Amino acid sequence: MAGRRAFNRRGAGPLPGGPGRRSTQKPGQLIVAGGNHTSGSIRKLALDLVGGPAARVLIIPHASRIDSQGEQCLRRWRSIGARWLSVLDLEDSAATETLAGADLVWLTGGDQNRLMEALAGTPVPALLRQLRQDGAVIGGTSAGAAVMSKLMLTGNPLAPFGNGLALWPEVIVDQHFLKRGRHERLLAAVRRHPELVGVGIDEDTAVVVSQGSFEVVGSSRVVVLDARRSALEMTVLDPGDEFELEAAAQVSAPAPLALAPAPAG
């Protein structure tokens, strides 16, 4: 996007640093945060999963309409000690190399439709799935959480579903869940797609996704809606609770969903 610049402490271009400091777990974990105020403790947890301050962190701010969103996000990561930082510039010829070298990728908040539109036709979605397979940690908050699903909630009641990044394809993620009272929205989605598990994440709360399970961190709760056994089951999880999914996540290129593009907003 015009006006966005890839940069780090030593200037533009690929992230510097030594050997990758990715998670020893493969696929790498996902950090899926509910939005608004994502505490430093959640970001610090993400950084610790990839070895701490020396890890290479890449910010993807394209969900936001604010031109300075990337720089604002960099300041938050620097405040918890991250040293090697960059903002992805989709117009930079080195964008693919920059992304491939990241140990931790963070997707900011904003509008999930705007983000997916920005990434459409680029190699970024496939590269993110491959990065996770290789042990990188992928995290996102608000709109950056919504795109983790394969079937993405758009926020548009006239076209409620769109294509997400399919990093966590067996669930439907809803964010700001308790704060904005989104129970009915997620319930409708799960009833329409009972093969998928609904995961509603409240603000200042996140789930750490490993193969086949996730753990709740932060200050509020996560609500899980599961209709895979015909009868709908609702589970309310507090920080420290874990939820076991029956099948481990498969991070692979998904078949496109036959959906009309949803307008941003």
- Is 50 exceeded by the pLDDT of residue 19? no
Within 8 A by CB and 6+ apart from 121, the residues are none
Catalytic residue flag (residue 117): no
255: in domain? no
Cβ atoms of 135 and 22 closer than 8 Å: yes
**Share above pLDDT 70 across residues of the chain, in percent, rounded to a whole number:** 83
Question: Which residue in the list 23, 64, 142, 210 is annotated as catalytic?
Answer: 142
**Of 217, 211, 201, which Cα lies nearest the Cα of 39?**
217
d(CA 244, CA 136): 22
97: in domain? yes
- DSSP-derived pairing of the beta strands 222-226 and 197-201: antiparallel
Catalytic residue flag (residue 244): no
Catalytic residue flag (residue 142): yes
- Is 80 exceeded by the pLDDT of residue 7? no
1: in domain? no
Cβ atoms of 140 and 108 closer than 8 Å: yes
Question: Which residue in the list 64, 149, 203, 210 is annotated as catalytic?
Answer: 203
151 by DSSP, 3-state: which?
strand
224: in domain? yes
249: in domain? no
Burial code of 11-31, b = ≥16 C-beta within 10 A, e = fewer? eeebbebeeebbbeeebbbbb
**Share above pLDDT 90 across residues of the chain, in percent, rounded to a whole number:** 75
Q: How many domains does the chain have?
A: 1
- Is 90 exceeded by the pLDDT of residue 242? yes
34 sits in which H/E element? none
Cβ atoms of 107 and 144 closer than 8 Å: yes
119 by DSSP, 3-state: which?
helix
Supply the CATH number for residue 54's domain. Answer: 3.40.50.880
260: in domain? no
pLDDT of residue 244: 94
> Averaged over 36-51, what is the pLDDT?
90
8: in domain? no
In tens, the pLDDT along 50-69 reads 999 999 999 999 999 888 88
Range(s) of the domain holding residue 215: 30-244
83: in domain? yes
In tens, the pLDDT along 155-202 reads 999 999 999 999 999 999 999 999 999 999 999 999 999 999 999 999
Cβ atoms of 187 and 223 closer than 8 Å: no
